[in-house]
Amino acid sequence: MTTTPAPQPAESDSLENAIELKEVEGLSQGQIVRARFFRHKGAMVGLAVLIGIIVLAFSSVGVGSFSGWWHYTGNENGAIVNPRGAPTLSMPTWLGGDGFSLGEHPLGQDEIGRDMFAQVMRGTQTSLMVVAIIGVVAALIGVIIGSAAGFYRGRIDTLLMRTTDLFITVPVLVIGAVIGRLSGGIGGFAFAAMMGLVLWTGLARLVRGEFLGLREREFIDAARVAGASDLRIIFKHILPNAIGVVIVSTTLLMSSAILLETALSYLGVGIVRPDISLGMLISEYQGAFSTRPWLFWWPGLFIVAIALCINFIGDGLRDAFDPRQKRIPSASKMDRQMMVQRRAGEAAVAGGAAPGGVPASGSDDPGAPAR
Amino acid sequence: MLSFLVRRVLTGLATLFTAIFLMFLLVNAASDPLADLRQSTAPNKQQLIAQRIELLDLETNVVVRFFTWLGSFLTGDPGVAWRTGQDVGPLISHAIGSTLQLVTAATFLSLFLGVAVGVVSALRQYSSFDYMIIFLSFLLYSLPSFLVAVLLKQWGAIGFNDFLADAVIPWPVILGIAAVGGLIWSLAIGGPPRRRLQVGLVAAAATVAMLAYLQLTDWWENPTLGPILIGLLGAATAFAVVAIGAGLHNRRALYASLSTVALGVAIYFPMQSFFDGILETHLLIVGLGLLALGSGLLIGWLFGGPDRGVSMRSASITAVVVAALTFADQVMQVWVPYSDYLRGRPIPTFGDQTPNLGGSYWVGILDTYTHLILPSLTLILIAFAAYTRYSRSSMLEVMNQDYIRTARAKGLPERVVVVRHGFRNTLIPLATIVPIDIITLIGGAIITENIFARPGMGQLFIKSLLGAEIDPVMAYLVITASLAILANIVADLVYASVDPRIRLEA
């Protein structure tokens, strides 16, 4: 069912068609999705940058007993190198600096000489871990409860829907603030796990919806006739078909989770010292914006970078799993196509060629990127 | 319908009760009203602690305390913020007022801008304009609101106030702005290269003309609109409204809108003496706005023709815009004394009004607006991204439907296809999101209010939570939770009314 009225596929559609042709060749669903995902440039760039940030954050200041290659932990009050602790990072000459060098404190120091790079890296670690824990906890609970409700319906379903109703009555930020206050002494892990316990409801609703539709399909009847148990039907037959929804909405949940965590830490009700969070750094140093702007910029940059990467990856995943949003033919493009066709027809008539001659070979569509 | 409402309200009340009960337990566990006393070094520490335990009834079981609190709340006593001794009732009503000021304008502006940009972006799918908007919305969507707010405070307030001290834009900067503006317009309007070039040049020239006018008339220091600018802007609105809503070939609609503008300009000077001779109130202003709406409808009706409705609609929209311009002109007239009073730094960074300002009604309005600019901008930037994404994907979904192809195939002009068949159906999914957004926003923009120190609902909540004052926190939660339940019911009703396929009884 193509929506393109063009008689011949435009140049830019060839990739799309190649994928669709391969589908006929018998690729598995997973392979098709992977191919679509890897073609999504934004998602690929996002993935690369995110992996870079993860490697940088965990290798530099270390985690657990691994001490990392960076020589500060962000807690010692070193001597202040530059006036006011300005960053020692200098740009390469072609960017107007005097040769690239990291120096002692590449991202600067705060007013008592703590190394900013180490602090930002610690904060990035915390934010990444919080996001990962929220994602895993929420996805696990959401999938289990959503599939149980969608598959068994009845009382479990009612219970689930009433619980989700409970959670939509109180804004997430408010619940988060209360939970952050509650877990203030326990630390980041407990906070993240408790946020996961709250944020699963949206995912559960989506999974339930998928299950309600899928459980009526013929292949489920077939599985049941073949003697499959309920658990086998849920995990082997239905869940693989609903996995797209799970992955996409978990990713989007994680991108909003990082903003939620940093916002709560900014308000002072999320992560508290001795743990370090990017939101907390911004909150502590916002007063120094005019005198020591680097204390504000670097944590902010990392928050935006992580959130942006996760958002792009989520977008790529959604396009890969759900390729419904195809291009719509614009009016001007249709006009142009018709003109090309007419001209080709006239040329064919004038040249006395066989009717229905070849349309103009090169489409004048400039060839927009595939996605 | 009625049974649906009754059922929903009853389940809503049950949900509300459970949510409030659970939140009471949570808030109670999360707050420690004795924290400051435990650290205290006062000699009578034990006595103070005992006093406070008695004051807050902390010995009693929390469930019992919940029902005591619920009982007094239901009988109209929402309790006391015990640290300051203030009653919660007046606290909340003041906070709601401040929050409503903030969120109303921000929501509607971001909705309008977001939907417009999203729809245009969808119509130019995979063009450079579309990619630009996608990236912009992703970026804004990934920006934490506190980052935006702090930046706006630094650049928006302090930077703009510095600019006002010596309000000169260098000419190269003006030309640069004009070039960028022209480029964006030419990409947004689209079409064949020549048309793009024309659009770009016209937009750039208009930008240069506008900025030059502002520059040469010292507009930044002494902003006014005056009858001429009101007329020009009104005429531009009339053309835009008619071009989108009726098509420029519909002369009656165009003339009706233009005569509305003419009427607005004609009564400009009489209105000045009217405003001078009368004591304005909000009620009067709203009444005048409605009067403008009515006269627009009347003018459209007088122009008559076979499709009166279209003329009436175009003329009334134009009339409201012209009335708003006249209102803005009145507010601008007090700018100079206001700015002088604040020693040339009129954009504030905290609070929601200047204390002890005095002055006329218009000064009060202007003061409210200057306090609203930055927080509203923060909220708009972030909500804009969400609405753009919603409306873009919704419009794409609609424009891929078969009935759009049918509409094109039967030869309807592109404007009718887009506006009547595409845009209207795009609004259906939005109709379920927007009521929830609007009503839940009364809960306050916690972060924005916190940064700009606006005494709104969100600020009240977070301060009371940090101060372990359970009564204001619970009052806040009751209000936001009941509004959220109400919003969901309203969204269902709206959905059923815009989409005839949905039936509530089913």
Encode pLDDT of B49-101 as tens digits. Answer: 888 888 887 778 888 888 988 888 888 887 788 888 788 888 888 888 888 88
In which element (H, E) is residue B100 found? helix B88-123
DSSP three-state, residue B367: helix
Q: What is the pLDDT of residue A2?
A: 41
Q: How many CB atoms lie under 10 A from the CB of residue A79?
A: 7
Give the model's confidence band at A17: pLDDT under 50 very low, under 70 low, under 90 confident, else very high: low
Mean pLDDT of B469-476: 89
Element (H, E) at B87: strand B86-87
What is residue A91's predicted lDDT score, i.e. its pLDDT? Answer: 64
The pLDDT of B259-276, averaged and rounded, is 89
Tell me the C-alpha to C-alpha distance, in Å, between residue B383 and each of A258, A310, B390. Answer: 17, 19, 11
Whether the pLDDT of residue B355 is over 90: the answer is no
List chain B domain ranges.
2-92+441-498, 102-428
- What pLDDT, in 10s, does the model give residues A21-42? 555 467 777 787 888 888 888 8
Check residue A327 and give its pLDDT.
46
Which tokens go with A67? 């001490």
CB B349 within 8 A of CB B378: no
Q: Tens of pLDDT along A297-352?
A: 888 899 999 999 998 998 888 888 875 544 445 555 566 667 777 777 766 655 44
| B23 Cβ under 8 Å from any chain A Cβ | yes
- Interfacial B residues in 168-227 facing A (CB < 8 Å): 190-192
Report the helix count and the strand count for chain B, using DSSP H and E: 23, 2
Distances (CA, A) of B321 to B106, B256, B264, B277, B465: 18, 14, 10, 24, 43
Compute the distance between CA of residue B262 and CA of residue B264 in angstroms, rounded to an integer: 5
Cβ-defined contact of A165 to B15 (cutoff 8 Å) = yes
Q: B238 or A92, which is more confident?
A: B238
- Name residue, tokens 């009073």: B341
Indicate yes or no: CB of A174 within 8 angstroms of CB of B480. yes
Q: What is the mean pLDDT of residues B368-374?
A: 88
Q: What is the mean pLDDT of chain A?
A: 76
When pLDDT is averaged across residues B333-355 and rounded to a whole number, the result is 80
A365/B14: higher pLDDT: B14
Task: Find out whether A127 and A135 touch, Cβ atoms under 8 Å.
Answer: no
| Average of per-residue pLDDT across B33-51 | 79
* pTM, entire model: 0.82
B462/A282 CB distance under 8 A = no
Residue type at A238 in one-letter notation: I
Asked if residue A12 has pLDDT above 60, the reply is: no
Amino acid at residue number B24: F
Residue B334, C-beta contacts closer than 8 angstroms, at least 6 positions apart: B359, B360, B362, B363, B366
Q: Per-residue confidence at B246, pLDDT binned at 50, 70, 90?
A: confident
Q: How confident is the model at residue B156 (pLDDT cuts 50, 70, 90)?
A: confident
pLDDT in tens, A98-153: 666 666 677 777 777 777 888 888 889 988 999 999 999 999 999 998 898 889 88
From residue B497, give the alpha-carbon distance in Å to each of A185, A236, B73, B431. 50, 41, 35, 10
Residue A347 CA to residue A353 CA, distance in Å, equals 8
B23/A170 Cβ within 8 A: yes
| pLDDT of res. A78 | 67
Neighbours of B91 (CB within 10 A): 21
**Cα-based distances in Å from B420 to A240, B317, B423, B425:** 40, 18, 6, 8
**pLDDT for res B205:** 92
Residues B242, A113: Cα–Cα separation, whole Å? 63
Could you tell me if A45 lies within 8 Å of chain B, comparing CB atoms?
no
Confidence of residue A363 (pLDDT cuts 50, 70, 90): very low
Q: Quote the tokens at residue B58.
A: 């902390």
- Phi, psi dihedral angles at B353 (to 5 degrees): -165, 155
- pLDDT interval class at A184 (50, 70, 90): low
CA A107 remoteness from chain centre: 27
* Facing residue for A182 by CB, picked from B11, B26, B447: B26
Looking at residue B452, its amino acid is F
- Chain A residues lying within 8 Å of B461, measured CB to CB: 174, 177
Query: Touching check for A259 and chain B: CB below 8 Å?
Result: yes
| B positions 130-159 inside 8 Å of A (CB) | 138-139, 141-147, 150, 154
Helix ranges (DSSP H) in chain A? 13-25, 29-39, 41-60, 116-152, 154-169, 172-182, 188-199, 201-214, 218-225, 230-232, 239-267, 278-285, 294-321, 331-350
- Determine the average pLDDT of the residues in B101-128: 89
pLDDT in tens, A343-357: 777 666 554 443 333
CA distance A236 to A223: 10
Q: Which residue type, as a one-letter code, is found at position A243?
A: I
Query: Over pLDDT 90: what percentage of chain A?
Result: 14
Q: Would you call A296 an interface residue with chain B, using a CB distance cutoff of 8 Å?
A: yes
Average pLDDT over chain B, rounded to an integer: 86
Measure the CA–CA gap between B393 and B189, rounded to whole angstroms. 19
Least Cα separation, residue A325 to chain B (angstroms): 7
Average pLDDT over residues B458-482: 88
Check residue B49 and give its pLDDT. Answer: 83
Asked if the model's pLDDT at residue A202 lies above 80, the reply is: yes
pLDDT at A287: 75
B29 and A369 within 8 Å at the Cβ level: the answer is no
Q: Predicted confidence band at A362 (pLDDT cuts at 50, 70, 90)?
A: very low
Q: Report the C-alpha gap between B126 and B399 in whole angstroms.
A: 14
CA pair distance B48, B33, nearest whole angstrom: 12
Helices (H), B166-250: 171-189, 193-216, 226-245
DSSP of A241-276, one letter per residue? Answer: HHHHHHHHHHHHHHHHHHHHHHHHHHHTSSS-TTS-
Alpha-carbon span B115 to B390, nearest angstrom = 8
The CA dihedral of B489, B495, B496, B501, to the nearest 10 degrees, is: -140
What per-residue confidence (pLDDT) applies to A6?
A: 43
Better-predicted residue by pLDDT, B113 or A74: B113
- The first and second tokens of residue A112, run together, are 């008592």
Task: Report yes or no: A161 at the B interface, CB cutoff 8 Å.
Answer: no
B383, HSE (Cβ side, Cα atoms, 13 Å): 25
Closest to A216 (Cα-Cα) out of A168, A173, A280, A153: A153
Q: Which whole number is the average pLDDT over B26-47?
A: 80
Q: Are B292 and B373 in contact (CB under 8 A)?
A: no
Q: For residue A49, what pLDDT is reported?
A: 94
What b/e readout covers B437-450, taking b as 16+ CB neighbours within 10 angstroms?
Answer: bbbbbbbbbbbbbb
Model pLDDT for residues B169-222, shown as the tens digit of each residue: 888 888 999 999 999 888 888 778 888 899 999 999 999 988 888 888 888 878
Nearest to B484 among A169, A175, A289 (CB): A169
Tokens of A213: 């539709």
CA nearest to A181 within chain B:
B30
**Looking at the predicted structure, is the pLDDT value of residue A9 above 50?**
no
Q: Judge if the upstream peptide bond of residue B227 is cis by omega within 30 degrees of 0.
A: no
3-state secondary structure B392-437: HHHHHHHHCCHHHHHHHHCCCCHHHHHHHHHHHHHHHHHHHHHHHH
Q: What is the pLDDT of residue A278?
A: 87
Interface of A with B in 333-352 (CB under 8 A): 334
User: How many contacts (CB atoms, under 8 Å) link A and B?
Assistant: 135
Q: Are B312 and B301 contacting, i.e. CB atoms less than 8 angstroms apart?
A: yes
Instruction: For residue B459, give the nearest of B84, B98, B7, B70 by alpha carbon.
Output: B98
C-alpha–C-alpha distance, residues A262 and A279, integer Å: 4
The pLDDT tens digits for A156-172 are 888 877 887 787 778 78
Neighboring chain A residues of B142 at a CB cutoff of 8 Å: 255, 259, 304, 307-308, 311
Residue to mutate among A13, A169, A186, with most B CBs inside 10 A, is A169
The predicted structure's pLDDT at residue B202: 92
ipTM for this model? 0.81
Q: At residue A218, does pLDDT exceed 60?
A: yes
Q: Which residue of A has its CA nearest to B123?
A: A330
Give the gyration radius of chain A's Cα atoms: 27
